[in-house]
């Protein structure tokens, strides 16, 4: 768990460096308000299998095959065009008030949601976990930055069937720092749009 960090970037980076991993180690970067519903006997083989495919970058439960210049991975227009992939359960408890959000078939994607990201240490070393200079907000757009950077470096990101219960619906996307980092990301990646799988 990230504690006493000024940003999600610094928290992930500090923890990664403290562990001093082997390049083949698997890391999971995730929110603290999720529950992994997939059973261990399914979940662990899935991670090992998916992350053993050559040129795999990040894997996670949901993402999009195409990030357009609006830079919102869950963009409704893109969803209507069938660009999204994966599934996430949203709600406080699995037994009540759960909303399963099905985005689309599992496949290679350009961008993944940051509620759960898994990758080999060698990918994280190559992509870099430190906060990039171009972003100002401390807690926003890390997932878009990480997975877009991996894609630019030639890695294949993939939405995979790991079942996640997320206790949030992503309301933080409305805060000012999210909008500011989104604008800065658009400026930085302007020549790369659309970012595709």
Can you say whether residue 154 is alpha, beta or left, with left for phi > 0 and alpha for psi between -120 and 50 degrees?
Answer: left
pLDDT reported for residue 97: 79
What residue spans define the domains of the chain? 8-196
Residue 59 reports pLDDT greater than 80: yes
pLDDT digits (tens, 9 = 90+) for 160-187: 999 999 987 655 556 788 999 999 999 9
pLDDT at 147: 98
Instruction: Dump pLDDT digits (tens) for 67-83.
Output: 999 999 999 999 999 99
Q: Is 66 left (phi over 0), alpha (psi -120 to 50) or beta?
A: beta
The pLDDT value recorded for residue 63 is 98
Mean pLDDT of 142-157: 98
Angle between helices 8-19 and 142-152 (to 10 degrees): 60
Residue with tokens 């995730």: 30
Cis peptide before 194 (omega within 30 of 0): yes
| Residue 9 confidence (pLDDT) | 94
Q: Which pLDDT does position 148 carry in this prediction? A: 98
CATH of domain 8-196: 3.90.550.10
Residue 190 has pLDDT above 80, yes or no: yes
């Amino acid at each position: 768990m990230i504690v006493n960090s000024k940003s999600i970037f610094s928290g992930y980076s500090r923890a990664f460096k403290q562990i001093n991993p082997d390049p083949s180690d698997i890391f999971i970067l995730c929110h603290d308000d999720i529950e992994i519903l997939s059973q261990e006997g399914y979940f662990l083989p899935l991670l090992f299998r998916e992350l053993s495919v050559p040129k795999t970058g990040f894997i996670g439960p949901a993402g999009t095959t195409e990030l357009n210049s609006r830079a919102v991975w869950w963009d409704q227009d893109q969803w209507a065009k069938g660009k999204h992939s994966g599934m996430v359960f949203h709600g406080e408890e699995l037994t009540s008030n759960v909303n399963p959000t099905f985005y689309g078939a599992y496949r290679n994607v350009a961008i993944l949601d940051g509620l759960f990201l898994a990758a080999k240490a060698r990918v994280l070393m190559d992509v870099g976990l430190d906060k990039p200079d171009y972003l100002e907000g401390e807690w926003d757009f890390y997932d878009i930055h990480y997975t877009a950077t991996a894609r630019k470096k030639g890695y294949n990101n993939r939405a995979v069937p790991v079942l996640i219960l997320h206790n949030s619906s992503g309301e933080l996307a409305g805060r000012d720092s999210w909008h500011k980092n989104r604008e800065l990301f658009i400026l930085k990646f302007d020549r790369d749009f659309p970012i595709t799988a």
